[in-house]
Structure 1
Amino acid sequence: MTFGFPALLWLLALLPLTGWLLWSAARRRGRRAQAYADPHLLGAVLPAGGGRRRRLPLALQLGALALLLFGAAQPVAQPRLPVNQASVMIALDASRSMLADDVLPTRLEAARTVAREFLALAPTSTRIGFLTFSDNASVLVPPTTDRQEVLAALERVRPAQATSFAGALVSGVRALPERAGAAPPPELLDGPPPAAPQANTPRPDPATLPPGAILLLSDGISNRGANPAVAARFASDHAVKLYAVALGREGGAVTRVGGELVFVPFDTRELTRLTALTGGQFLYPPDAERLRGLYRELGTAIRWQPSDLGLGAPLAGLAALLLVLGGGLALAWHRRVP
């Protein structure tokens, strides 16, 4: 427990003196009543019940004063409470192959539908981000609980050229909480490697990282960039699981792209392998029941963690209750408030 104003706790030392002064005043009132009243009328002058009825209202009000002084120091407890720490990056394939119409109306629109359903069904406490990938990956929305921001970014997606699973995985990992400084292995870098971290900079322990996942929506063909398997191991090393939903039909499709009929392939083997490397899950075909199960698994990751809980207001409420109770007993027994 911590305190905002610990110096105020010293005022609690005055409580014994305050209690003694009030007790002494009550005894003086009793002696004056005995000194000036007729002995035969003492029963009418002094309340029945003796000392117990005198002490109980006083004790309640002293307890209320103690609670108020303790609460004025602004105590903050740190209990371990269940918190949903799930963070998910939706990675949407924006390559031209997603314009194929073997999944109506197109693979891209079907992927948008899956993303919208996940946003609608995931718990409101789940932080969800959004990135698109084609030749390169672009993080459009970092993990947030603002669903409208993600939906707006989802509607702005326009198809580009090729597909790079490696870029999607690296960008997705680094967008998740506490992983922004994650350095990918050299074989995943297109340009010169970043500056080496200082020797005294500790690497995060994957066991201490908050839960993270990537929901990848694609037609399963990576034809640009580094080896996706290396990127999958990079994700696994940083406690990130890959969940993939494949959109398309086996055998591929012939569709019109840019005014020309072209064959657009479809393959699930690579996505199956990548999800297995990270301990995630591959889903095909994406039927409604299996998708709902996937959303439940992705959207909730309960962890017990210390949380700051201010005790000032509850203590003030309890003190008010004791004051009212003590005052009510004093009025009922002594026709006065101590």
Structure 2
Amino acid sequence: MSRWFAHPWWLLTSLLVLVLVGAYVYEMRRRKARALRFANLDVLKTVTPQARDRFRHVPFALLATGLLLLTIALAGPLAERDVPRNRATVMLVVDVSNSMKATDVAPTRLQAAQAAGKRFADELTAGINLGLVSFAGTASNLVSPTPDHNATKNALGKLKLADKTATGEGIFAAIDQIQTLNSALGGDEHAPPSHIVVLSDGKQTVPESPDADRGGFTAARKAKEEGIPVSTISFGTMHGTVELEAPDGRMERIPVPVDDESLRKIANIAGGHFYTAQSLDELNRVYSSLREQIGTERQRGDNSRPWLIAGSLLVLVGTLGALFLNRRLP
């Protein structure tokens, strides 16, 4: 019972409401019997308003129901709800390899990622520490986790493309940023919850194997050990292409399909979620889903207010009904 009510013993007061209902029923029967005993039935039928008689018990029913709801409010009903999560840490890890200039997502993959990332930062719960890491052949720590989300928005607007894709380096850099903040806050024991969000479009190229020491799968296992979920977003289509300069100076069109498989495995290893997005709208929806997961948490708290309001209104309506309909209190 304590799972649903903070003060379940107050529910015993509902027995008083039942006693009141019993007393009302007893009094009504006793009054009717007395009236039938001493009154002329023919005369009684002509002077008793039938409509008022039909509804005369409604005010008391409303009053009793209202009192019952108030007893529930006294017991402190509990309910789970989403509440803003403060002091959490979120690290955005964005791929800036050359494949991100593909135009299969308008205007380009990178520009769409920048726009969606800025919107994510704008709408993220205030008080959450947000940071940014970019990666291509190496990782760059652009913004350390901070509640000033404008810092991340400004850095997103300055992302530059580079060669190669080192997904593991990006994740390791985000882990380092989170650990640095946790140390400043008093160590892992007092550390707030954290989450890494990786947006990428291509297969890791540095190192060649994702299971290498600095590979994506190894980084995911490290995040798992540290209790940091890693969610991944595979951004783009299977038909993306980019123009790159060949060794002989000619421009070649190179296919750059997204790599769902490796990003899905990273999320599975690190206990996060895997998403796909093939347009800016889809990416915004993914970020919206992540924002709800990261920015809020389920908590069980007091839910007595609706019961208190409903009970008070019914008591008020029942009392007014008794005065206007029956010309007396129930």
Task: Pick the TM interval, shorter chain.
Answer: 0.5 to 0.7
The 10-residue stretch of structure 1 (321-330 or 234-243) with the greater mean CA deviation from structure 2: 234-243
> 3-state SS of the aligned residue for 1:14?
helix
Is this contact kept in 1: 2:5–2:76, CA < 8 A? yes
Is this contact kept in 1: 2:6–2:75, CA < 8 A? yes
CA shift, 1:66, in A, is 0.8
Alignment of 1:1-338 (within 5 A): 2-23=4-25, 42-43=44-45, 48=50, 53-78=55-80, 89-92=91-94, 111=110, 114-120=113-119, 124=123, 129-133=130-134, 138=141, 140=143, 148=150, 150-152=152-154, 154=156, 165-172=167-174, 213-216=197-200, 222=206, 226-231=213-218, 234=221, 240-243=230-233, 250-251=243-244, 274-275=262-263, 277-278=265-266, 290-297=279-286, 299-300=288-289, 308=300, 310-327=302-319, 329-338=321-330
User: How far apart are the structure 1 equivalents of 2:255 and 2:121?
Assistant: 28
> 3-state SS of the aligned residue for 2:244?
coil
> 3-state SS of the aligned residue for 1:251?
strand
Q: TM-score, normalized by length of structure 1?
A: 0.52
CA shift, 1:315, in A, is 2.0
> 3-state SS of the aligned residue for 1:120?
helix
Q: May I ask how many residue pairs the two structures share in their alignment?
A: 277
Task: Please give the per-residue CA displacement for 1:77-134, whole angstroms capped at 9, x wherever unaligned.
Answer: 349x9xxxxx97422468xx99xxx99xxxxx99576323343379947999432257
Residue 214 of structure 1 aligns with an amino acid whose one-letter code is: V
Is this contact kept in 2: 1:19–1:62, CA < 8 A? yes
Is this contact kept in 1: 2:165–2:203, CA < 8 A? no
Task: Please give the per-residue CA displacement for 1:139-186, whole angstroms capped at 9, x wherever unaligned.
Answer: 836598x85453145468899xx986433113446889xxx9xxxxxx
> 3-state SS of the aligned residue for 1:4?
coil
CA shift, 1:312, in A, is 1.9
User: How far apart are the structure 2 equivalents of 1:43 and 1:276?
Assistant: 80
User: How far apart are the structure 1 equivalents of 2:287 and 2:113?
Assistant: 13
Is this contact kept in 2: 1:64–1:322, CA < 8 A? yes
CA shift, 1:311, in A, is 3.9
Residue 198 of structure 2 aligns with an amino acid whose one-letter code is: I
User: How far apart are the structure 2 equivalents of 1:116 and 1:2?
Assistant: 43
Percent of residue pairs bearing the same amino acid type: 20
CA shift, 1:71, in A, is 1.2
Task: Please give the per-residue CA displacement for 1:246-271, whole angstroms capped at 9, x wherever unaligned.
Answer: 999543599xxxxxxxxxxx996998
Task: Please give the per-residue CA displacement for 1:175-199, whole angstroms capped at 9, x wherever unaligned.
Answer: 89xxx9xxxxxxxxxxxxxxxx9xx
User: How far apart are the structure 2 equivalents of 1:67 and 1:111?
Assistant: 56
> 3-state SS of the aligned residue for 1:132?
strand
User: How far apart are the structure 1 equivalents of 2:52 and 2:259?
Assistant: 83
User: How far apart are the structure 2 equivalents of 1:240 and 1:33?
Assistant: 78
> 3-state SS of the aligned residue for 1:62?
helix
Q: TM-score, normalized by length of structure 2?
A: 0.53
Residue 119 of structure 1 aligns with an amino acid whose one-letter code is: K
> 3-state SS of the aligned residue for 2:132?
strand
CA shift, 1:68, in A, is 0.9
Distance 1:273 1:54, change over 3 A: closer
The CA RMSD over aligned residues, in Å, is 6.0
Distance 1:213 1:236, change over 3 A: same
User: How far apart are the structure 2 equivalents of 1:296 and 1:219?
Assistant: 23
Residue 130 of structure 1 aligns with an amino acid whose one-letter code is: G
List gaps (5 residues or longer) in structure 2. 83-88, 103-107, 183-187, 248-253, 268-273
User: How far apart are the structure 2 equivalents of 1:32 and 1:61?
Assistant: 25
Task: Please give the per-residue CA displacement for 1:269-298, whole angstroms capped at 9, x wherever unaligned.
Answer: 998885475376899xxxxx6444444445
